């Protein structure tokens, strides 16, 4: 529709999740009209995110060094381990202020239709962390949808024979939804009211 770089930008933006053709066009023209310093900052952060951000070697949360901020924090309890699908879920739970334990980020959920099985997730790494014997309660905070439930059930079956308490977040979370979209109060209550599985 347009010529050259502006159309390339619209095409690239349009490939991002949740950005339709109209939004892509609006963002592209916003960038075109923006202050050059703002655009330079955006471009540099786009480059930095691929260069500098890596995954924590313990929990697989995003990190800027070998270990993430949460794994490095000695005040966090190693007795409670919360299993989530993605780093954004760590952020959502941290916002509630209800949890002072540690996390394990699976990197997705079991989804047979898309060919994602337990081997594609960091389940093996989870099992080896649990092998240390420090964890007393494993909290399954995968999304309250079909894939999240299947993943929670799968992990619960693996872990329960190890004598570790396994809990799941309480109901009240929007069924079929994404953990990250739950408001802090709902998610905080779901955390407090977690139940054994
Ligand atoms: Zn970590």
Q: What is the pLDDT of residue 125?
A: 97
- Binned at pLDDT 50, 70 and 90, residue 179 comes out as confident
CA dihedral 96, 141, 162, 121 (to 10 degrees): -130
- Binned at pLDDT 50, 70 and 90, residue 177 comes out as low
Q: Which residue has the higher pLDDT, 124 or 176?
A: 124
Per residue in 33-44, pLDDT (tens digit) is 999 999 999 999
How far apart are the CA of 188 and the centre of ligand 1, in A? 21
How far apart are the CA of 21 and the centre of ligand 1, in A? 37
How far apart are the CA of 97 and the centre of ligand 1, in A? 17
Count CB neighbours of 157 within 10 A.
11
Q: Would you state the structure tokens that stand for residue 80, as one six-digit string?
A: 């409670």
What is the end-to-end Cα distance of the chain in Å, rounded? 55
Q: Would you state the structure tokens that stand for residue 49, as one six-digit string?
A: 């995110």
How far apart are the CA of 107 and the centre of ligand 1, in A? 13
Rounded to whole angstroms, the Cα distance separating 89 from 82 reads 10
Q: What is the pLDDT of residue 172?
A: 66
How far apart are the CA of 169 and the centre of ligand 1, in A? 21
């Amino acid at each position: 529709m347009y010529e050259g770089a502006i159309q390339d930008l619209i095409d690239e933006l349009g490939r991002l999740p949740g950005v339709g053709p109209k939004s892509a066009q609006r963002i592209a023209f916003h960038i075109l009209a923006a202050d050059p310093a703002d655009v330079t900052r955006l471009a540099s952060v786009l480059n930095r995110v691929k260069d500098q951000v890596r995954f924590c070697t313990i929990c697989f949360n995003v990190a800027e060094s070998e270990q993430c901020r949460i794994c490095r924090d000695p005040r966090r309890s190693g007795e409670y381990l919360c299993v989530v699908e993605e780093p954004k879920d760590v952020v959502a739970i941290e916002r509630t202020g209800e949890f002072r334990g540690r996390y394990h980020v699976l990197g997705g959920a079991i989804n047979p239709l898309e060919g994602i099985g337990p081997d594609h997730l960091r389940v093996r790494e989870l099992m080896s962390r649990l092998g240390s014997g420090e964890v007393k309660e494993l909290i399954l905070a995968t999304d309250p949808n079909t894939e999240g439930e299947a993943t929670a059930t799968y992990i619960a079956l693996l872990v329960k024979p190890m004598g570790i308490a396994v809990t799941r977040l309480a109901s009240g979370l929007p069924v079929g939804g994404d953990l990250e979209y739950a408001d802090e109060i709902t998610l905080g209550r779901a955390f407090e009211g977690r139940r054994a599985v």
